[in-house]
Chains A and B, each alone.
Chain A
Amino acid sequence: EAQVTQNPRYLITVTGKKLTVTCSQNMNHEYMSWYRQDPGLGLRQIYYSMNVEVTDKGDVPEGYKVSRKEKRNFPLILESPSPNQTSLYFCASSLSTRDYEQYFGPGTRLTVT
């Protein structure tokens, strides 16, 4: 089944404890992206990647890191999480930059205390 998977789905952590949210797609998509969703603010892009080893900042990159060493994986790293990073996170992918349909993962709900 073609899909985007994220792990974990739920995470409660403490301030400053490094964490990684994994994202994987099995569709051989070139383009991948991370978003956060907060009430009243819609979906905001954190980072995106147009292909392996190519990443760029989105609208709200502060406090986050990403890497794209393989085509299928695009992990989101929070080196020192803070409470203002409590949010719902979505990973998405599309076939290429010329393909407008993004496929979204199920989301990761992160709480930082």
Chain B
Amino acid sequence: LAKTTQPISMDSYEGQEVNITCSHNNIATNDYITWYQQFPSQGPRFIIQGYKTKVTNEVASLFIPADRKSSTLSLPRVSLSDTAVYYCLPWNAGNMLTFGGGTRLMVKP
């Protein structure tokens, strides 16, 4: 079971790029890395997934180094609506999954 470590909180300002790093030292070979966003009183929402190197979609980029022991979610030009909690989750649906504590991102005007 891959255990994850993320910063508890981060502050940013509108228009800035935000990078949130997750450590997952014991990630398994078959694990993919997924990231979720959660707003208060809502279920988490999938953002992005990757296995290694870099993945980009319309909302974020995900950087994964060759050793895969960490991953970095990059949010370009954040807005107030990006204020949320962000979780990384090594995904291997054949095994139990555990979200870490998440990173609470506060975007200020």
Interface membership of B65, Cβ < 8 A: no
Identify the stretch in A11-19, A36-44, A65-73 within 8 Å (CB) of chain B at 4 or more residues.
Answer: A36-44
**What's the minimum C-beta distance from A2 to chain B, rounded to whole angstroms?**
13
Chain A residues with CB below 8 A from B96, complex form? 45, 48, 56-59
Residues of B within 8 A of A56 (CB): 96
CB-defined A-B contacts under 8 Å, sample of 5: A45-B96, A48-B93, A48-B97, A58-B97, A97-B94
User: How many B residues have CB within 8 A of the partner chain?
Assistant: 22
CA distance A44 to B97 in the complex (A): 8
Establish whether residues B93 and A42, one from each chain, have CB atoms under 8 Å apart when the complex forms. no
Q: Is residue B63 within 8 Å, beta carbon to beta carbon, of the partner chain?
A: no
User: Nearest residue in A to B101 (C-beta to C-beta)?
Assistant: A42
Contact between B98 and A104, CB atoms less than 8 A apart: no
Residue A81 is within 8 A (CB to CB) of chain B in the complex: no
CB of A25 within 8 Å of the partner chain: no
For B43, list chain A residues within 8 Å (CB). Answer: 4, 90, 92, 104-107
Q: Are B49 and A44 in contact (CB under 8 A)?
A: no
Q: Is A50 an interface residue (CB 8 A)?
A: yes
CA distance A4 to B32 in the complex (A): 23
Residues of chain B within 8 A (CB-CB) of A4 are: 43
Cβ–Cβ < 8 Å partners of A48 in chain B:
93, 96-97
Q: Tell which of B43, B46, B98 has the most Cβ of chain A within 10 Å.
A: B43
Q: Which of A72-113 contact B (CB under 8 A)?
A: 90, 92, 94, 96-98, 100-107
Closest Cβ neighbor of A61 among chain B residues: B96
* Residue in contact with A104 in the complex, picked from B1, B44, B93, CB distance below 8 Å: B44
Contact between chains at A45 and B97 (CB < 8 Å): yes
